[in-house]
């Protein structure tokens, strides 16, 4: 028996059968609601429209509703489309550790599977907690980014655990869900290198789609390669190296809700730039940015980040994000439209920037997200340093903060309706949530 797979099963069984703290349940519901809000913002996104055109109509043995519509698709196809909506704007939650990733990528597959199973809200919350704890423990254990693998490889594992928990699998079906989900779902980091494509926002939903497929097969007794972690050609040998998982801490409470639609390592930079925009006088002559190594590697160093040609590259470019905030203020969902990518004011400010990586900030990461921006103008010097941005677990979102975010995306009435049903979802059946979501007015 694979010890790592067995440990994931035992922890998942503990969550599904034990008591859940009110704070943990509350935070999971916030992240579910947040994922719905940001998905709404991508209803008409080009990659999502392409997926609909390519994959619909769709039907299967088990079917789920496509977000904010009354259309249904096979549960794996619904997972792909709904998950792509969730990730498109890069506006959903984040977990930072040895690997940086988005735990809410686990929400679309579990929610999609819950509908044909007619699951109760509390079962969904517990299954989400299972996925969040697995993805957090994997992120703490080892980074696979530097080995050339994308973090969504971990999503295939955590989504499989959440799905198998929701479906009530015994240990054999649970482990075979993991085996099938992992074996053929190792994702290349090229997804996030150089000029970024549409796949950047859809690769996590593909990973979770494959986990849905694995869960359905294992549910009927299909077996997968084992032992998947410590086997002769298993995950440890081929992908990650040996690691151990620690489920002692509460990973849910250390996830972070995004305050702006930017790659999370640029969150403090966006906040600092917005603060400086209100204070700076005179013509900007130079911009110095102090940051940390991980941010530099992911969202600064590539030459494409200085002249992003796609939305996907721009929201992963700290130079672009700082320049946009200094020029136009708070970035919305349209901040990466083509008119801004070629905007001479933004590009000229990018050219004024100089980035340095400091040991001081390297030591603060990942517990904090430090940045210092110094702007030299024709009238003087202006500086802002931020260590922890709004939405970080050290400065967390309240329900009111989340409602304000939702209202900015889908309007007041829609946002309040979604909040009311999700905040009380432990008392509801999944169909009640789907009904409210399907009736939301299209404001976009």
Question: What is the domain-level CATH number for residue 183?
Answer: 1.10.4100.10
Domain match, 320 and 420 both: no
Residues belonging to the chain? 444
Task: Tell me if 313 is assigned to some domain.
Answer: yes
Assess contact for 7 and 233: CB atoms under 8 A. no
> What does DSSP assign to residue 258?
-
Q: What is the pLDDT of residue 1?
A: 75
- Report how far residue 405's alpha carbon sits from residue 383's, in angstroms, rounded to the nearest whole number: 28
Domain match, 155 and 287 both: no
Task: Tell me if 255 is assigned to some domain.
Answer: yes
Task: Tell me if 276 is assigned to some domain.
Answer: yes
Q: What is the pLDDT of residue 406?
A: 98
Tokens 């549960």 label which residue?
A: 75
Q: Which of these three, 357, 386, 415, is where a domain ends?
A: 386
Domain match, 116 and 170 both: yes
> Buried b vs exposed e over 172-181: b needs ≥16 C-beta within 10 Å?
ebbbbbbbbb
Domain match, 71 and 177 both: yes
Give the number of other CB atoms < 10 A from CB of residue 394: 13
Domain match, 194 and 295 both: no
Assess contact for 112 and 74: CB atoms under 8 A. no
Residues 392-410: tens digit of each pLDDT: 999 999 999 999 999 999 9
Domain match, 70 and 141 both: yes
CATH number at residue 291: 3.30.1330.120
Domain match, 233 and 253 both: yes
Task: Tell me if 397 is assigned to some domain.
Answer: no
Q: What is the pLDDT of residue 442?
A: 78
Task: Tell me if 401 is assigned to some domain.
Answer: no
- What's phi and psi for 368, nearest 5 deg? -130, 175
Domain match, 242 and 276 both: no
Task: Tell me if 177 is assigned to some domain.
Answer: yes
Task: Tell me if 338 is assigned to some domain.
Answer: yes
Q: What is the pLDDT of residue 444?
A: 63
Q: Which domain holds residue 434?
A: 3-259+406-438
- Closest residue by Cα to residue 437 from 425, 421, 426, 423: 421
Q: What is the DSSP string of 353-415?
A: EEEEE-HHHHHHTTTS--EEEEEEESS-EEEEEESS-TTSTTSPPPHHHHHHHHHHHH-HHHH
Count of domains forming the chain: 2
Domain match, 324 and 363 both: yes
Per-residue pLDDT of the chain in tens (444 residues, 90 and over written 9): 799 999 999 999 999 998 677 899 999 999 999 999 999 999 999 999 999 999 999 999 999 999 999 999 999 999 999 999 999 999 999 999 999 999 999 999 999 999 999 999 999 999 999 999 999 999 999 999 989 999 999 999 999 999 999 999 999 999 999 999 999 999 999 999 999 999 999 999 999 999 999 999 999 999 999 999 999 999 999 999 999 999 999 999 999 999 999 999 999 999 999 999 999 999 999 999 999 999 999 999 999 999 999 999 999 999 999 999 999 999 999 999 999 999 999 999 999 999 999 999 999 999 999 999 999 999 999 999 999 999 999 999 999 999 999 999 999 999 999 999 999 999 999 999 999 999 998 766
Domain match, 33 and 140 both: yes
Domain match, 173 and 41 both: yes
Domain match, 123 and 154 both: yes
Task: Tell me if 63 is assigned to some domain.
Answer: yes
């Amino acid at each position: 028996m694979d010890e790592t797979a067995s440990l994931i099963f035992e922890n998942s069984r503990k969550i599904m059968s034990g008591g859940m703290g009110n704070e943990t349940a509350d935070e999971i519901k916030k992240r579910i609601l947040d994922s719905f809000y940001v998905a709404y913002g991508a209803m008409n996104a080009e990659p999502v429209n392409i997926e609909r055109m390519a994959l619909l109509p769709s039907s299967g043995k088990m079917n789920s509703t496509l977000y904010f519509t009354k259309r249904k698709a096979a549960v794996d196809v619904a997972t792909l489309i709904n998950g792509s909506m969730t990730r498109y704007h890069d506006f959903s939650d984040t977990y930072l550790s040895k690997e940086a990733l988005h735990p809410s990528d686990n929400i679309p597959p579990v929610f999609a599977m819950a509908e044909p199973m007619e699951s109760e809200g509390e079962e969904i919350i517990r299954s989400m907690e299972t996925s969040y704890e697995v993805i957090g423990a994997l992120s703490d254990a080892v980074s696979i980014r530097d080995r050339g693998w994308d973090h969504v490889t971990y999503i295939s594992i955590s989504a499989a655990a959440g799905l198998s928990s929701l479906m009530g699998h015994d240990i054999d079906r649970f482990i075979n869900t993991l085996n099938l989900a992992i074996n053929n779902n190792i994702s290349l980091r090229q997804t996030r290198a150089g000029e970024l494509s549409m796949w950047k926002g859809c690769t996590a939903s593909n990973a979770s789609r494959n986990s849905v497929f694995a869960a359905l097969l294992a549910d009927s007794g299909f077996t997968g390669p084992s032992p998947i972690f410590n086997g002769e050609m298993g995950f440890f040998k081929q992908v990650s190296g040996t690691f151990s998982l620690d489920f002692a801490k509460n990973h849910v409470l250390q996830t972070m809700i995004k305050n702006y639609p930017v790659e999370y390592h640029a969150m403090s930079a966006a906040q600092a730039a917005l603060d400086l925009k209100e204070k700076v006088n005179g013509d900007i002559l130079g911009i110095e940015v102090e940051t940390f190594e991980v941010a530099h590697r992911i969202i600064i160093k590539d030459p494409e980040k200085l002249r992003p040609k796609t939305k996907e590259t721009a929201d992963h470019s700290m130079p672009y994000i700082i320049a946009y905030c200094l020029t136009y203020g708070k970035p919305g969902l349209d901040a990466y439209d083509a008119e801004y990518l070629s905007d001479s004011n933004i590009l000229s400010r990018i050219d004024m920037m100089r980035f340095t990586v400091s040991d001081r900030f390297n030591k603060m990461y990942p517990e904090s997200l430090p940045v210092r921006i110094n702007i030299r103008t024709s009238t003087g010097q202006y500086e802002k340093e931020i260590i922890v941005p709004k939405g970080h677990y050290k400065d967390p979102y309240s329900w009111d903060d989340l409602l304000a975010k939702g209202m900015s995306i889908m309007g007041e009435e829609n946002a309040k309706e979604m909040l009311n049903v999700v905040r009380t979802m432990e008392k509801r059946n999944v169909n009640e949530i789907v009904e409210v979501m399907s009736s939301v007015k299209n404001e976009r």
